[in-house]
């Protein structure tokens, strides 16, 4: 399964890079397009019961049916309607991605801030721990934790989160160690600000923009990791609608030319990843106060 | 024939929020073995002119007008020809000697690179010989060719930069704020090196700086720039003795000095104009003590008075009449 | 001012050494130090401005940073009125900070890019719990007005919308808002445009006169020190080599290094093309400080004794200088 999902991830990264160049001078537009894509998926997730024509967890026609008028995205090997599964799967995608990324951010950012600001021995010890987690291949680590915790939405989200904590930590810590030697931090010390105030009002806002980008990447990545876990039976229990699971399953049939089983879940993943990225990149450019000066 | 002549040079930068006029209709000329000081504050366009003389402007710059170097127009010269000029005919040194040298390359090899860019088949002994001579002439022991940039102090590094720039014996050296990042004493040493280049090697020079005091000792001609305009141009003695443009006058009296009889701090009011939304009319009018009605409406043309140029309405109708007697203090 | 002619700051034998990173192999050897500030003593009276003049690497910025305790001194005393700042730590140091402030060299870097001008200036008041919200706002408006930035226009702006000179005015406003007694101004005009420099100097002088402030004015530029300082101390490699009234320094500099510094100031007059005396060499690294007088390798008047014995800073005929020429 790693083949196709890895490829899709690569492609989405390439597209992201291209987009960044294309929209360089119109960050506002980029954010708007990203926002529209996300809004589209949010609407789909909320109104799933009204949009989907069939029950996503029950066969609704012959198996392996190519796209037709009644099943616009075809059916899978069990005769489930792919369109309906995608519509319902939007909920799962959002839930897993948001919860996992939020857990990772909530743990990784404060630890990175504090350790980066304090520095010294604490820094060396915590960084070593984080680096050893980071050095572990992400999916394998997630598999190990998921296997330990068992299936279920929160457990999956948690196992994915553990993989991303070091990402936040590393980026924040390295940013903090640059920011803390800035003159405005010296200035804050000179006016008598407490350490907590310095970290909160002077350091944190200046490292925040870099987390927005990681946030978007992790949202996208977590959808892929979740797909991998689901495929191994460690994720959401089938037949709960889930894009990653459908994509992984569809891959088995690609050699029979049953392309629709891969194409539509794949498109869904790519577009939502794009939506997150464009929105985040656009916001980053918009909010970063120094970008305007770097001409 | 002059060595270098700029005619109606205008340079714009295209940016995401509109075009930025960095240089507007600037004309000046520089004879053989002459030194020109281009003086102005940040954003006045002096560095942009420096870059345009070698045609190494950033990609978003658009240039209009002519830059004649030995009668050839640099603005339209084919890329190969301009490349053969760079370093060999015209070369440049920059403000920061810390970042202008490749940190992981021995000084020796940086010289070799320069030679090879123009003479592929030059022998190593010859290259070393020429480099050693040049280094010696500006006060660095030739044995230091083996050193890396970090083994030099700031002032020594700037000397190395100068040596690299003059090793092919160019006719024109452009120096963009060559002493700004150096300490006062070292600054003086570097100026002395440049003065010697001028006197002994007969090199022409364009010295770009913000420091009117610094250039006084070395240049023959001075161009004062303000917000993309050349507001005054002329021979160094006349400009320092009898500055015409109000900006030049104010600049001269507001430079802190070490004279004890002069303890009152004088300054120019107001801020530098933004290039994005410059003031209408004369760009200096919001800060000018002699502002007239016309200044706020119309950009003044450049008037010529006794071989001097000044871009100020005060001199309307005075061209080629006697010098102005207006005094401020 | 009741305290005229009394000392506000008195620095005694101040030292600041920075340990150098050494490789593992040399761990048993004596650890090398950068002696940035090496046994410095001076005092500043109420309402006085002392100029600390030196080249980069002279330790002048470290003196300023140590005085306002952004660095911990390695040794010595910093008597501020009757409190030794060198012995203050933690909360007692933090609350004392409203009495002394520092203005930094680079106005582009000394303001938090994410904080509006009004909030940045208000922050010291908030930290030291001075006044309520309305009172603080009035105070910020007042101080913005004083530094020449119309409050209505600037209160809600971000630093990125301001020019270098305007930012430096904001930094000055922030330093003055708590009514400190003592302000360290570190190369405040060095990064500004020539036509803006004198404006900022003028502003500092005006603020001093209005609030009865005491300054330590750190600079490499003797010329600008002339206009603002009552006294000037010349620092070379972490030591003061001459200290005198501004008039005396310019009238008759004693130390050879002071003479050189004054002669190095460029004069905007093309007729001054006469051959000046230009000293050779550059300021050495404070890791390897020369023996004897620190300046002797570059000194045109160096004598035998200069390489061996370090001259003391002492009073000779009413002037204070550290040089064997005046023994």
Cα–Cα distance, A25 to C174 (Å, whole number): 35
Assess B42–A contact: CB distance below 8 Å, yes or no. no
CB contact under 8 A, B254 and C195: yes
Q: Across the A/C interface, how many CB contacts are shorter than 8 Å? A: 71
User: Which stretches within chain A are classed as H helix?
Assistant: 2-22, 27-46, 48-51, 82-118, 120-135, 138-149, 153-179, 183-190, 195-197, 204-231, 243-251, 260-287
Show the low-confidence residues of chain A (pLDDT under 70): 1-27, 231, 283-295
Q: Phi, psi at residue C9, to the nearest 5°?
A: -120, 135
Q: Is residue A106 part of a domain?
A: yes
Using CA atoms of A239, A241, A247, A250 in order, give the dihedral in degrees to the nearest 10.
40
Which pLDDT value is given to residue C195?
Answer: 87
Q: Spell A223-240 as b/e; 16+ CB within 10 A means b.
A: bbbbbbbbbeebbbeeeb
Q: What domain range is A211 assigned to?
A: 2-54+71-287
Sign, CA dihedral B48-B51-B55-B57, equals negative
Whether the ω angle into residue A242 lies within 30 degrees of 0, i.e. cis, is: no
Q: Is residue A60 part of a domain?
A: no
CATH of the domain at B221: 3.40.50.300
Give the DSSP letter of residue B145.
Answer: G
Q: Which chain C positions have a beta carbon within 8 Å of A206's beta carbon? A: 112-114
Show the low-confidence residues of chain C (pLDDT under 70): 1-4, 22-31, 272-277
- Measure the CA angle with vertex A75, ends A69 and A79; round to 5°: 125
Which pLDDT value is given to residue B201?
Answer: 86
Residue A137: alpha-carbon gap to chain centroid: 17
Which pLDDT value is given to residue A292?
Answer: 40
Q: What domain count does chain A have?
A: 1
Cα–Cα distance, B293 to B114 (Å, whole number): 54
Cα–Cα distance, A37 to C160 (Å, whole number): 32
Question: Which tokens belong to C222?
Answer: 């003797």
- Structural domain ending residue among the three candidates B169, B193, B219: B169
Q: Is residue B323 part of a domain?
A: no
CB contact under 8 A, C198 and B268: yes
User: Which stretches within chain B are classed as H helix?
Assistant: 46-53, 79-85, 97-100, 107-118, 124-137, 154-166, 184-201, 212-216, 236-241, 246-254, 293-297
Q: Which chain C positions have a beta carbon within 8 Å of B184's beta carbon? A: 55, 220-221, 261, 264-265
Q: Is residue A292 part of a domain?
A: no
Q: What domain count does chain B have?
A: 2
Question: Which tokens belong to C294?
Answer: 């620190």
Cα–Cα distance, C168 to C176 (Å, whole number): 12
Q: Spell C128-165 as b/e; 16+ CB within 10 A means b.
A: bebeeeeebbebbbebbebbbbebeebbeeebbebbbb
Cα–Cα distance, A55 to A64 (Å, whole number): 17
CA distances from C58 to C64, C71, C259, C264, C292 (A): 12, 16, 16, 17, 17
Cα–Cα distance, C43 to C235 (Å, whole number): 14
CB atoms within 10 A of CB B56: 12
Cα–Cα distance, A118 to A138 (Å, whole number): 28
pLDDT one-digit tens code per residue, A73-102: 888 888 889 899 999 989 888 888 889 999
CB contact under 8 A, B13 and A25: no
CB contact under 8 A, A193 and C98: no
The domain made up of C7-21+30-282 is a member of CATH 3.30.230.10: no
* Pairing relationship of beta strands C75-80 and B35-39 according to DSSP bridges: unpaired
CA distance C135 to chain B (A): 30
Q: What is the CA radius of gyration of chain B?
A: 21
Cα–Cα distance, A201 to A158 (Å, whole number): 30
Which pLDDT value is given to residue A4?
Answer: 45
Q: For residue B63, give the H/E element and its range.
A: strand B61-69
Instruction: Give the neighbours of chain A: at least 3 Cβ pairs within 8 Å.
Output: B, C
Identify whether residues B14 and B75 lie together within a single domain. Answer: yes
Q: What domain range is B149 assigned to?
A: 98-169
Sign, CA dihedral A74-A76-A80-A84, equals negative
Cα–Cα distance, B230 to A33 (Å, whole number): 46
The neighbouring-strand residues paired with C7 are C45
- Nearby residues of A23 by Cβ (< 8 Å), 6 or more positions away: A29, A30, A278, A281, A282
Question: Which tokens belong to B31?
Answer: 């004879």
Q: For residue B154, what is the nearest residue in chain C, using CA coordinates?
A: C282
Q: Is residue B324 part of a domain?
A: no
Q: Phi, psi at residue C113, to the nearest 5°?
A: -60, -20
Q: Spell C102-112 as b/e; 16+ CB within 10 A means b.
A: bbbbbbbbbbb
Cα–Cα distance, C113 to A290 (Å, whole number): 8
Q: Which chain C positions have a beta carbon within 8 Å of A293's beta carbon? A: 160
Question: Which tokens belong to A201?
Answer: 């009002």
Which pLDDT value is given to residue C273?
Answer: 59
CA distance A24 to chain B (A): 9
Which pLDDT value is given to residue C30?
Answer: 66
CB contact under 8 A, C160 and A289: yes
Which pLDDT value is given to residue B326?
Answer: 46
Give the DSSP letter of residue C325.
Answer: G
Q: For residue A126, give the H/E element and its range.
A: helix A120-135
Q: Spell C260-278 as b/e; 16+ CB within 10 A means b.
A: bbbbbbbbbbbeeeeeeee
Show the low-confidence residues of chain B (pLDDT under 70): 97-98, 319-329
Q: Is residue B5 classed as helix, strand or coil in its secondary structure? A: strand
Q: Spell B131-165 as b/e; 16+ CB within 10 A means b.
A: bbebbeebebeeebbebbbeebbbbbbbbbbbbbb
Question: Which tokens belong to B318?
Answer: 């005075």
Cα–Cα distance, C210 to B88 (Å, whole number): 59
Q: For residue A178, give the H/E element and its range.
A: helix A153-179
Identify whether residues B204 and B281 lie together within a single domain. Answer: yes
Cα–Cα distance, A7 to A269 (Å, whole number): 12
Cα–Cα distance, A126 to A144 (Å, whole number): 22
Q: Is residue B23 classed as helix, strand or coil in its secondary structure? A: strand
CA distance B92 to chain C (A): 23
Which pLDDT value is given to residue B236?
Answer: 93
* Pairing relationship of beta strands C182-186 and B229-235 according to DSSP bridges: unpaired
Sign, CA dihedral B248-B251-B255-B261, equals positive
Long-range contacts of C30-35 (CB under 8 A, 24+ apart): C32/C287, C33/C287, C34/C285, C34/C286, C34/C287, C35/C237, C35/C238, C35/C286, C35/C287, C35/C289
The neighbouring-strand residues paired with C169 are none
Domains of chain C, by residue range, sit at 7-21+30-282
Q: Is residue B329 part of a domain?
A: no
Assess B16–A contact: CB distance below 8 Å, yes or no. yes
Q: Is residue A295 part of a domain?
A: no
Q: List, as ranges, residues 194-223 from A with C-beta within 8 Å of C.
A: 194, 197, 201-202, 205-206
Q: Is residue B37 classed as helix, strand or coil in its secondary structure? A: strand
Q: Is residue B241 part of a domain?
A: yes
- Measure the CA angle with vertex C276, ends C273 and C281; round to 5°: 130
Q: Which chain C positions have a beta carbon within 8 Å of B269's beta carbon? A: 199
Q: Is residue C274 classed as helix, strand or coil in its secondary structure? A: coil
CB contact under 8 A, C110 and A186: yes
Cα–Cα distance, A290 to B267 (Å, whole number): 31
CB contact at 8 A, B218 and B36 = no
CA distances from A48 to A52, A203, A263, B192, C172 (A): 6, 42, 20, 79, 59
* Pairing relationship of beta strands B4-15 and B18-30 according to DSSP bridges: antiparallel
Residue A57: alpha-carbon gap to chain centroid: 25
Which pLDDT value is given to residue B315?
Answer: 92
3-state secondary structure A67-81: CCCCCCCCECCCCCE
CA distance A205 to chain C (A): 7
Q: Across the A/B interface, how many CB contacts are shorter than 8 Å? A: 5
CATH of the domain at A254: 1.10.3720.10
Q: For residue A43, give the H/E element and its range.
A: helix A27-46
- Nearby residues of A158 by Cβ (< 8 Å), 6 or more positions away: A100, A103, A145, A149
Identify whether residues B293 and B236 lie together within a single domain. Answer: yes
């Amino acid at each position: 399964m790693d083949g196709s999902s890895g490829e899709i991830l690569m492609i989405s990264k390439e597209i992201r890079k291209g987009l960044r160049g294309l929209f360089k001078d119109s960050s506002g537009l980029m954010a708007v397009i990203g926002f529209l894509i996300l809004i589209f998926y949010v609407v789909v997730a909320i109104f799933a019961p009204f949009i989907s024509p069939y029950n996503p967890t029950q066969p609704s026609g012959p198996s392996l049916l190519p796209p037709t008028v009644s099943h616009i995205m075809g059916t899978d090997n069990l005769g489930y309607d792919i369109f309906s599964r995608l519509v319902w799967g939007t909920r799962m995608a959002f839930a897993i991605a948001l919860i996992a990324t939020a857990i990772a951010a909530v743990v990784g950012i404060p630890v990175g801030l504090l350790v980066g600001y304090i520095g010294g021995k604490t820094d060396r010890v915590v960084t070593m721990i984080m680096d050893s987690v980071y050095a572990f291949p992400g999916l394998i680590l997630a598999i190990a934790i998921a296997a330990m915790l068992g299936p279920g939405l929160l457990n999956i989200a948690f196992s994915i989160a553990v993989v991303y904590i070091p990402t936040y930590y590393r980026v924040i810590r390295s940013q903090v160690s640059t920011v803390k030697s800035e003159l405005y931090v010296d200035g804050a010390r000179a006016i008598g600000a407490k350490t907590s105030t310095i970290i909160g009002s002077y350091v944190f806002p200046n490292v925040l923009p870099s987390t927005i980008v990681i946030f978007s990447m992790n949202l996208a990545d977590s959808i892929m990791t979740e797909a991998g876990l689901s495929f191994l039976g460690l994720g959401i229990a089938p037949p709960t609608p889930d894009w990653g699971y459908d994509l992984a399953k569809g891959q088995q049939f690609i050699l029979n030319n049953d392309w629709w089983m891969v194409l539509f879940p794949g498109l869904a993943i790519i577009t939502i990843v794009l939506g997150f990225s464009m929105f985040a990149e656009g916001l980053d450019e918009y909010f970063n106060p120094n970008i305007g000066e770097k001409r | 024939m002059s060595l270098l002549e700029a005619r109606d040079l205008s340079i714009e930068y295209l940016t995401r929020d509109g075009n930025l006029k960095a240089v507007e209709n600037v004309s000046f000329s520089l004879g053989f073995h002459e030194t020109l000081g281009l003086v102005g504050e940040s954003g006045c366009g002096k560095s942009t002119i420096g870059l345009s003389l070698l045609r190494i402007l950033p990609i978003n710059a658009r240039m209009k007008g002519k830059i004649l170097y030995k009668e050839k127009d640099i603005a339209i010269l084919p890329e190969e020809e301009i490349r053969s000029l760079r370093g060999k005919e015209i070369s440049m040194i920059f403000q920061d000697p810390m970042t202008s040298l490749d940190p992981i390359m021995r000084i020796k090899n940086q010289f070799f690179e320069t030679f090879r860019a123009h003479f592929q088949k030059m022998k190593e002994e010859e290259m070393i010989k020429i480099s050693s001579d040049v280094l010696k002439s500006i006060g660095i022991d030739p044995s230091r060719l083996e050193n890396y940039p970090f083994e030099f102090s700031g002032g020594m590094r700037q000397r190395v930069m100068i040596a690299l720039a003059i090793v092919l014996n160019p006719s024109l050296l452009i120096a963009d704020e060559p002493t700004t990042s150096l300490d006062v004493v070292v600054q003086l040493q570097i100026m002395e090196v440049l003065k010697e280049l001028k006197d002994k090697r007969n090199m022409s020079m364009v010295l770009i700086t913000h420091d009117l005091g610094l250039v006084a000792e070395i240049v023959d001609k001075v161009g004062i720039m303000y917000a993309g305009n050349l507001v005054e141009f002329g021979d160094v003695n006349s400009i320092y003795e009898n500055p015409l443009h109000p900006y030049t006058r104010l600049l001269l009296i507001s430079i802190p000095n070490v004279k004890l009889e002069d303890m009152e701090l004088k300054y120019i009011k107001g801020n530098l104009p933004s290039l994005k939304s410059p003031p209408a009319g004369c760009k200096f009018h919001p800060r000018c003590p002699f502002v007239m009605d016309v200044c706020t409406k119309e950009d003044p043309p450049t008037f010529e008075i006794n071989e001097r140029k000044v871009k100020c309405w005060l001199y309307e109708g005075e061209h080629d009449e006697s010098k102005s007697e207006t005094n401020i203090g | 001012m009741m305290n005229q002619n009394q000392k506000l700051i008195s620095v005694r034998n101040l030292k600041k050494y920075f340990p150098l990173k050494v490789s593992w192999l040399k761990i048993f050897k004596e650890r090398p130090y950068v002696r940035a500030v090496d046994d410095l003593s001076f005092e500043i009276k109420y309402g006085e401005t002392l100029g600390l003049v030196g080249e980069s690497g002279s330790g002048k910025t470290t003196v300023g940073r140590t005085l306002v305790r952004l660095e911990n001194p390695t040794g010595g005393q910093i008597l501020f009125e009757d409190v030794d700042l060198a012995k203050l730590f933690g909360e007692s140091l933090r609350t004392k900070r409203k009495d002394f402030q520092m203005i930094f060299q680079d106005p582009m870097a000394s303001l938090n890019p994410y904080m509006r001008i009004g909030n940045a200036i208000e922050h010291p008041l908030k930290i030291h719990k001075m006044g309520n919200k309305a009172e603080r706002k009035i105070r910020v408006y007042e101080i913005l007005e004083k530094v020449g930035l119309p409050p209505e226009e600037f209160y809600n702006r971000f630093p990125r919308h301001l020019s270098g000179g305007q930012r430096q005015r904001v930094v000055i406003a922030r330093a003055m808002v708590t009514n400190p007694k003592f302000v360290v101004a570190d190369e405040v005009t060095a990064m500004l445009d020539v036509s803006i420099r004198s404006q900022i100097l003028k502003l500092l002088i005006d603020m001093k006169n209005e609030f009865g402030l005491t300054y330590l004015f750190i600079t490499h530029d003797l010329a600008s020190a002339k206009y603002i300082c009552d006294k000037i101390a010349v620092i070379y490699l972490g030591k003061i080599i001459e200290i005198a009234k501004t008039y005396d320094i310019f009238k008759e500099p004693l130390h050879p290094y002071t003479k050189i510094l004054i002669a190095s100031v460029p004069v905007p007059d093309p007729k001054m093309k006469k051959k000046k005396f230009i000293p050779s060499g550059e300021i050495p690294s404070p890791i390897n400080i020369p023996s004897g007088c620190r300046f002797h390798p570059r000194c045109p008047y160096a004598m035998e004794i200069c390489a061996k014995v370090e001259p003391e800073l002492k009073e000779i005929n009413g002037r204070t200088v550290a040089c064997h020429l005046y023994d």
